[in-house]
Amino acid sequence: MQITGNDVLIVIDVQNDFCPGGALPVRDGDAVIDPIHNLAVKFGHIVLTQDWHTPGHSSFASAHPGKKPFEQIEMSYGMQTLWPDHCVQGTRGAEFRPSLGLTRAELILRKGFRREIDSYSAFFENDRTTATGLAGYLRERGLTRVFLAGLAYDFCVGYSALDARRLGFEAIVLRDACRAIDLDGSVQKMEAEFARAGVVLMESTDVLG
């Protein structure tokens, strides 16, 4: 596949807390880094996202007495999975994985910093209406096709891809450059959403040629 100046690689949440040893580790999370590095050399434009939660964030199980991680509760914006405390602003867990060496990234977009609402997608908070500003940034720069990699495939990567399509961008998820949580069949559900929305699944080899 030919990568052009209108393409952008969006690397989602490759942070210590989502990697082995972190507060919310994705199985084999570190394994995304080598394929991401291989892909990055093909792209003139790279964006990184960073989960950036306040202490006591409403998506943390610890903020809801009697609740445990991975339970669901009803929030004002719909159902919310409760997570272990993770990616708290200014902590080591919120830092990018040290082996992620994407010094050419042009933008680091922080999300999930509003205490009362979670943010999976790089484009919107979980109410599906509060924008992060990423769409405007991409449009201002003439970037029309997004390639997504990172953590986790069935949550933050997946919702970012779906929102990219909803906003009129072409969206390609690089499957081998992602790892999944797979909570209660979330991978299968997300891939069904991809099919409906027109999200394209590829391997990094399809881009590298």
Residue 112's φ and ψ, nearest 5 degrees, are 80, 20
Q: How many CB atoms lie within 10 A of CB 4?
A: 11
Nearest CA-CA partner of 124 in 108, 136, 140: 136
Q: What is the DSSP letter of 28?
A: T
Active site residue 87: no
Query: Could you confirm whether 34 is annotated as catalytic?
Result: no
Q: Which among 105, 104, 107, 126 has a CA at the least distance from the CA of 115?
A: 126
Task: From the candidates 111, 118, 154, 178, give the one annotated as an active-site residue.
Answer: 111
Q: In terms of DSSP H, where are the helices of the chain?
A: 33-40, 134-140, 158-166, 186-197, 204-208
For tokens 């906003």, the residue is 167
Is the bond preceding 177 in cis, omega lying within 30 degrees of 0?
A: no
Q: Which of 19, 87, 156, 178 is catalytic?
A: 156
- Residue 142: Cβ-neighbour burial (10 angstroms; 0-12, 13-18, 19+): exposed
13 a catalytic residue: yes
Tokens, residue 145: 């096709």
Catalytic residue among 7, 13, 30, 118: 13
Among all residues, which ones are annotated catalytic?
A: 13, 111, 156
